[in-house]
Amino acid sequence: MSSDASPSPRAEVRRRATGRQGLGPRQLAVALPAALRKLDPRELRRSPVMFVVEVGAAACTVLTVVSPGVFAVSITAWLWATVVFATLAESVAESRGKAQAASLRASQAQTTARKVTAPQDILEYTGGLAALPTTEVPSASLHVGDVVVVAAGETIPGDGDVIEGIASVDESAITGESAPVIRESGGDRSAVTGGTTVLSDRVVVRITAPAGHTFVDRMIALVEGSERRKTPNEVALNVLLTSLTIIFLLAVATLQPFAVYSGARQSLLVLVALLVCLIPTTIGALLSAIGIAGMDRLVQRNVLAMSGRAVEAAGDVDVLLLDKTGTITLGNRQAAELIPVEGVEPAILADAAQLSSMADETPEGRSILVLVKERHGLRARESGELVGAELVAFTARTRMSGLNLPAGGQGPRSGGPDGGSQDGVRRIRKGAAAAVTSWVHSTGGHAGPDTARIVDAISASGGTPLVVAEQLGSAPARVLGVVHLKDVVKQGLRERFAELRAMGIRTVMVTGDNAVTARAIALEAGVDDVLAEATPEDKLALIRREQAGGRLVAMAGDGTNDAPALAQADVGVAMNTGTTAAKEAGNMVDLDSNPTKLIEIVQIGKQLLITRGALTTFSIANDVAKYFAILPAMFVLVFPQLEVLNVMGLSSPRSAILSAVVFNALIIIALIPLSLRGVRYRPAAAAVMLRRNLLLYGAGGLIAPFVGIKAIDLLVSLLPGIS
């Protein structure tokens, strides 16, 4: 799996532009109609805290109509403002995804598809599908399993996998990246998205998603928030807020009998004002907006989260699994040298390395063909030149590629006086040192000490050794030499891994390379642990072991062989260039296909949790000042001794109550930008972040209301009928 380390230019510009958006009058005006629609009690009951405020505001409205007055009208108006500000916060958060949803919807324009008309068994098992008859049908009528032909200049009619051909595809409508990408059959880059355009050549695509359930449809629903469900943390916090609301509701309800007994009966208007100021309205109003904004920050970075649960899990991740190639290194390993073992001619090794790479479609395999041509003058041979040859493709399980060449095939042989054995098959293998050595031993051969010395030297230098061996007929196989592959660690990763370590996150590099090579790269990159010579089963087993120990695991992948691990991981980030199986298995999709972005995803998840915790702390802390404003005001006429609690020196009981209600509403609108932007995140241990947030938002929540309520009281006291 490899990808560029940097995000697409258009995506980066869009991310910065969106990040600079403030909460201006225009944005508020656009979101206001949706906010007013959310006043429907059926909508608002999802937030118990704000539902109680709305019921209180409705009751006060009735009382105000029956007995109007400046104080009653003011209290009622600001109670309704509190509810509107809460729904406005959610509407503003949702509106930030509307622009992207609109551009995605534009890519869904109805297109005509050229559907291959043939029996299903032919479509499943036959090649040359592009030459079969086709019929034009609307893209909306396509079903899973249908096969379509898409040529240059045509729009891909639906999500699917390329099963024949190779083409360059414009995916800018989805990713924002103007540079075309290659899509081809038979590899990890076979998935295509409906609405993208083929720029060159022709491909045959098998549809994998029905109309209305495509990747773009899911993106639109998620960025608009229509499919957003409350995460476990949100549900737990809602339960806490509901419990506090019930407690304060009972406290206010039982307060009236005591007030009557004391000769200070309170009006329902005052009791509602007291209840609204006591319950945690600030976090109750902003809770949904915080969750939506967290997902929106991922969208700004071209990452689509399939659920809010995945974003939260990213914030709690303990272990980060990172593929070496394309994530920690640049991913363009190149063959740098062919090193023969003692007694083998360089030409023999070069010939074997070339033949064994004919079935290797990886960048490393292609680089070997280039090196052999440049250094040894051997041109690449076509499969037709090797009569009866059987290509052995590289797989993640065997970690070898090669070729079986029957007697009479072309190419120099290394056995016998004439250079070859004429009575058997020549089997050539190239791959990971452990895999090839095991193959040699299985034939009765021995790798020899020279092989181990070369492999260890290459590995110790941070390179990757690929061993080349051959077997002639039924004779024992022997090692011919080693190919030296070089890779480069990306700049700045050591510092980023240090930041993750400071947050308590352990990084694990996963690679198919041997243990010595893996440790050398890991030491250079600064990762904490290594899983070397890893198969897909090893990766899945590692994730399960970590989870059994109570740790949350995040990983990135793009291939079908990554799908089980992506499904098992708590945060599975699939690359958009990957297979359909990988994208279905993961709970996030990176549209830029940049595996390094997994680190940013973890940071965004932590920022979401920190923001929610900080504003919850602030909300509960700022209730303290309201106690000092309202409770003395309610009973100071009966108990003058309570005047000592009027530490803010508020003008009158009515101005004190109204000032607290006004502050309670205005603080919501004041905190909307912070809930959308998120609390500034600095990599640090959990204890350090908790201490800093308690100091900043806990102490700030205590102090700000005293200042704010006093300032509002100075203005409110000027109103007639209030002082």
The answer to whether residue 713 is catalytic is no
- List phi, psi (to 5°) of 302: 65, 35
CA 168 to centroid of chain Cα atoms: 26
With a CB cutoff of 8 Å and minimum separation 6, the contacts of 602 are 314, 315, 317, 320, 500, 505, 554, 571
398 known member of a binding site: yes
Neighbours of 163 (CB within 10 A): 17
Tokens of 52: 């109680």
CA 488 to centroid of chain Cα atoms: 25
Length of the chain: 723
395 known member of a binding site: yes
Q: Which CA distances in Å does 685 have to 299, 446, 502, 690, 697?
A: 27, 51, 6, 9, 18
With a CB cutoff of 8 Å and minimum separation 6, the contacts of 127 are 164
The span from the CA of 696 to the CA of 28, in Å, is 28
570 known member of a binding site: no
Tokens of 374: 């440049």
399 known member of a binding site: yes
400 known member of a binding site: yes
The one-letter amino acid at 128: G
Q: Which residues of 316-350 are buried (b: 16+ CB within 10 A; e: fewer)?
A: bbbbbbbbbbbbbbbbebbbeebbbbeebeeebbb
Tokens of 538: 């090893």
Burial of 262 (0-12, 13-18, 19+ CB in 10 A): exposed
Check: CB of residue 553 under 8 Å from CB of residue 546.
Answer: yes
The one-letter amino acid at 551: R
Full strand arrangement of the beta sheet holding 529-531: 303-305, 588-590, 571-575, 553-557, 319-323, 506-510, 529-531
Tokens of 17: 């532009």
3-state DSSP helix/strand/coil % of the chain, to nearest 5: 55, 15, 30
In the set 323, 513, 570, 592, the catalytic residue is 323
Q: Which residue has the tokens 């090579």?
A: 517
As a three-state string, the secondary structure of 269-301 is: HHHHHHHHHHCCHHHHHHHHHHHHHHHHHHHHC
Check: CB of residue 723 under 8 Å from CB of residue 713.
Answer: no
Neighbours of 386 (CB within 10 A): 19
CA angle 455, 460, 465 (to 5 degrees): 35
Q: Which residue has the tokens 């551009």?
A: 103
Check: CB of residue 15 under 8 Å from CB of residue 66.
Answer: no
Listed residue (530, 714, 689) closest to 617, CA to CA: 689
Check: CB of residue 242 under 8 Å from CB of residue 51.
Answer: no
401 known member of a binding site: yes
Q: Which residues of 626-647 are buried (b: 16+ CB within 10 A; e: fewer)?
A: bebbbbbbbbbeeeeeeeeebe
- The DSSP string of 290-343 is HHHHHHHHHHHTTEEES-HHHHHHHHT--EEEEEIIIIIB-S--EEEEEEEPTT
121 known member of a binding site: no
Among all residues, which ones are annotated catalytic? 323
Annotated binding site for Mg(2+): 558, 562
Residue positions in the annotated binding site? 360, 364, 394-401, 430, 558, 562
> Binding site for ATP, residues?
360, 364, 394-401, 430
